[in-house]
């Protein structure tokens, strides 16, 4: 996956955040992520919407290169779609316009709601170290350089152990992983890290 965000303008990123923050478009992307492909009729039935509505949102998602048409399955008015690999890195908020920041913040709050539900599920479904649900919470002393190296190594691990959509082995399940890194609060008096 490549991250094309650095090549996008603030206006394009704002449109992207608004699109990803649209509840129906998020449900469409989630469905395509889980089922691989669909057309507007299938999505209308599964999501409880009209096919005209799902067709409109599919076209909008395609315009932003989040999904693509499947030519070999499409014909006439029936168009089938699949999601595209996508990696997203939000830029420094200090560089954003007010509108871009508002759209990014709205999207972040929606993601936090989803992530909170996943966190609860992971705890509820935990069946020990050999189960499907895993929970790890830890901390370590790092320099900023160490942290950036760690994040790169984390991505390399995902690339190493994850399987692409077109080469999923038998017995595999789609696993939701989340990674956060937040340093301890700074010492307000000295402006340095709390501790050493």
Q: Residue 36: what pLDDT?
A: 87
Q: What's the whole-number mean pLDDT along residues 161-180?
A: 90
> What pLDDT shows up at residue 33?
86
- Is the per-residue pLDDT at 43 higher than 60? yes
* 73-80 average pLDDT score: 81
Terminus-to-terminus CA distance in the chain, angstroms?
39
pTM (global) more than 0.75: no
pLDDT tens column, 49-66? 999 999 999 999 999 889
Phi/psi for 119 (5° steps) reads -60, -45
What percent of the chain shows pLDDT beyond 70?
Answer: 92
Helix, strand, coil abundance in the chain, percent, nearest 5: 50, 5, 45
pLDDT tens figures, 107-123: 999 999 999 999 999 99
d(CA 130, CA 118) in angstroms, rounded, equals 19
Contacts of 49 (CB under 8 A, 6+ apart): 24, 43
pLDDT at 191: 58
- Residues 158-179, mean pLDDT to the nearest whole number: 91
pLDDT at residue 193 is higher than 60 = no
User: Contacts from 72-78 at CB under 8 Å and sequence distance 24+?
Assistant: 73/37, 78/39, 78/41
């Amino acid at each position: 996956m490549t991250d094309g965000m650095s090549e996008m303008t603030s206006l394009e990123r704002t449109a992207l955040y608004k699109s990803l923050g649209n509840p129906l478009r998020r449900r469409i992307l989630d469905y395509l992520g889980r089922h691989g492909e669909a057309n507007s009729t299938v999505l209308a039935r599964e999501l409880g919407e009209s096919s005209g509505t799902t067709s409109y949102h599919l076209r909008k998602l395609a315009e932003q290169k989040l999904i693509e048409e499947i030519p070999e399955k499409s014909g006439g008015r029936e168009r089938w779609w699949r999601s595209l690999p996508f990696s997203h890195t939000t830029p420094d908020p200090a560089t954003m316009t007010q509108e871009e920041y508002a759209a990014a913040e709205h999207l972040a709050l929606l993601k936090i709601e989803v992530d909170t539900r996943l966190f609860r599920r992971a705890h509820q479904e935990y069946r020990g170290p050999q189960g499907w649900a895993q929970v790890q919470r830890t901390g370590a002393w790092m320099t900023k350089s160490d942290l950036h190296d760690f994040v790169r190594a984390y991505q390399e691990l995902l690339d190493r152990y994850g399987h692409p959509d077109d080469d999923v082995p038998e017995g595999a399940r789609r696993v939701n992983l989340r990674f956060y890194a937040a340093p301890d609060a700074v010492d307000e008096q000295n402006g340095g890290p709390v501790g050493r």
